[in-house]
Amino acid sequence: MLIRFIVKNIYSYKNETEFNLFHNKAQGLQHHIIKNEDFEFLRFSAIYGANASGKSNLIKAISFLKSLVVKGEIPRNSDEIKFKLSKENLDSPISFGIEFMVSKQAFFYSITFNEDGILYEYLANSKKNEDIMIFERINEDTGQRIVFFKDYYKSDKDKLFAEILSEKLVQKNTLLITFLGEKYQKEFGSSVNLAFQWFKNDLVIIKPESKAVGLAHLMDKDPELEKFANNYIPSLNTGIFEIEIEKKKFEESLYGNIDASQKREIIEELKDQPGKFSVLTNKNTGEEISVVVENEEILTKRIITKHKDHFGGSTDFNLGIESDGTKRLFDYIPAFYEVINHNKVYIIDEIERSIHPITIKELLTKLALDTSIKGQLIFSTHETNLLDQNILRPDEIWFAQKDVDESTKLYSLSEFKIHHTINIENGYLKGRFGGIPFLTNLKDINW
């Protein structure tokens, strides 16, 4: 789970800015509070703000940090994403800090870097009263220094390894958390690897243009996911009453007559990576078809949606000819299934994109009222009908707003005095909480 995220000098975030999931004393939706030893934090969060206020930039910053850790090195063009409207910021480094929980262990990780390398990196176990350092790395003019937790140095061999690590093994642009998490899991127990794997597998970012790639194959391999989809989609008034996965031999499918060299390339790729799948896209409809090797046979898998016809029978559609809104709802199937059933963090930018306001409200109401949900859902949105205290607590609602210097400020609705009966949507639209666009009077521009 994500506890808090701190960012400085990236995109529209000029100064150190914190987004967190700490709760206040509000009494509503108590099952949204996750309690785990030293920490209590929230399961949901919604981020509002005008266009260009910095909502998406927050999610982009989290995504950038995830990418850093997974890839393990600082990209060469990182100076390009600094806050550009201040000379002081152009000369200053980018900084991230993130606190999260995985397997009942809380971690705090921070990193500060410039385009030419990492200046500071730190990982610790977070505790209520103090952090317990796992490693600290400092790059100075005199060189690089890496220090590990006190009990690590049990022999001269350990001291020597730490010195070699500092002087030769870890380059200035290489992340230590990634290097140790991938190559030295046993030497540092489970802690570093747990933290690294959280970034890699448990933190999932869904951007507005993201798609659920290979959904037909995923549903075919996981009957519970297919069952969830068959409960979820028909309940949303899309006209679909059932979903099926059509499986065919490659030669018998729509793509059986594709170019021989392309077919050979797909086969070789799949045979070299057992268990993997490839995806082919219909240029006319945009429909994606999964191609897999199972029992030494090449198969195609596609999603078929069933609609009632005028005579009470069933008519089959392929997903490519469904509406954009319906396709978006299909893209969310793995995300919502995972949030309900697994301890993962899903962060979705523009959650309502292409989806009707009533539909997205119904969806999020179902999630918000589910007392057995296991994961965490954070999203940005413009959809004001979600500003409902039956769906979100005031401490789960955040606003992004540009300051006079064009930098983004973040603040929570819990900073305002909110009665549990107040209509938050009306107050927001009237500008009571900020986070709305300020528009030029049309008469002033002779329009």
For residue 136, the SS3 value is strand
List of residues 6+ apart from 110 with CB closer than 8 A: 6, 95, 96, 97, 98, 120, 121, 122
Of the pLDDT bands very low, low, confident and very high (cuts 50, 70, 90), residue 255 is: low
pLDDT of 434 reads 81
Kindly state whether residues 95 and 206 are assigned to the same domain.
Answer: yes
Question: Domain limits at 310?
Answer: 215-331
Say if residue 317's pLDDT is above 70.
Answer: yes
Kindly state whether residues 143 and 9 are assigned to the same domain.
Answer: yes
Looking at 273, 308, 331, the residue that finishes a domain is 331
Greatest mean pLDDT among 62-76, 133-147, 163-177: 62-76
Kindly state whether residues 135 and 12 are assigned to the same domain.
Answer: yes
For residue 125, the SS3 value is strand
Mean pLDDT of the residues in the chain: 90
- Asked if 65 and 429 touch (Cβ cutoff 8 Å), the reply is no
In the DSSP assignment, the letter for residue 13 is: B
How are beta strands 408-412 and 397-402 bridged, if at all? Answer: antiparallel
Least-confidence region, from 22-26, 214-218, 278-282 = 278-282
List of residues 6+ apart from 123 with CB closer than 8 A: 107, 108, 109, 133, 134, 135, 176, 177, 191, 192, 195
Q: Is 149 exposed, middle or buried (0-12, 13-18, 19+ CB in 10 A)?
A: middle
Kindly state whether residues 227 and 204 are assigned to the same domain.
Answer: no
Q: Please tell me the distance from the alpha carbon of residue 340 to that of residue 327, in angstroms, as a whole number.
A: 20
Q: Please tell me the distance from the alpha carbon of residue 317 to that of residue 244, in angstroms, as a whole number.
A: 10
Looking at 301, 331, 361, the residue that finishes a domain is 331
Kindly state whether residues 203 and 272 are assigned to the same domain.
Answer: no
Kindly state whether residues 28 and 160 are assigned to the same domain.
Answer: yes
Kindly state whether residues 358 and 379 are assigned to the same domain.
Answer: yes
Kindly state whether residues 351 and 296 are assigned to the same domain.
Answer: no
Say if residue 18's pLDDT is above 90.
Answer: yes
Q: Please tell me the distance from the alpha carbon of residue 407 to that of residue 84, in angstroms, as a whole number.
A: 10
pLDDT of 432 reads 80
Angle at 295 between CA 292 and CA 297, to 5 degrees: 55
Residue that has been written with the tokens 């528009």 in this structure: 439
Sequence letter at residue 3: I
Kindly state whether residues 245 and 119 are assigned to the same domain.
Answer: no
Q: How large a percentage of the chain has pLDDT more than 90?
A: 65
- Asked if 395 and 22 touch (Cβ cutoff 8 Å), the reply is yes
Kindly state whether residues 225 and 319 are assigned to the same domain.
Answer: yes
Name the phi and psi angles at 267, rounded to 5: -60, -45
Of the pLDDT bands very low, low, confident and very high (cuts 50, 70, 90), residue 258 is: low
Kindly state whether residues 325 and 382 are assigned to the same domain.
Answer: no
Model confidence pLDDT, tens digit, residues 192-236: 999 999 999 999 999 999 999 999 999 999 999 999 999 999 999
409: CATH: 3.40.50
Q: Please tell me the distance from the alpha carbon of residue 110 to that of residue 126, in angstroms, as a whole number.
A: 12
Say if residue 159's pLDDT is above 90.
Answer: no
Sequence letter at residue 21: L
pLDDT of 446 reads 75
Model confidence pLDDT, tens digit, residues 377-401: 999 999 999 999 999 999 999 999 9
Looking at 306, 331, 356, the residue that finishes a domain is 331
Say if residue 155's pLDDT is above 90.
Answer: no
Higher pLDDT, residue 314 or 434:
314
Q: Please tell me the distance from the alpha carbon of residue 327 to that of residue 301, in angstroms, as a whole number.
A: 17
- Asked if 21 and 42 touch (Cβ cutoff 8 Å), the reply is yes
Least-confidence region, from 164-173, 360-369, 404-413, 427-436 = 427-436
Total domains in the fold of the chain: 2
Kindly state whether residues 232 and 124 are assigned to the same domain.
Answer: no
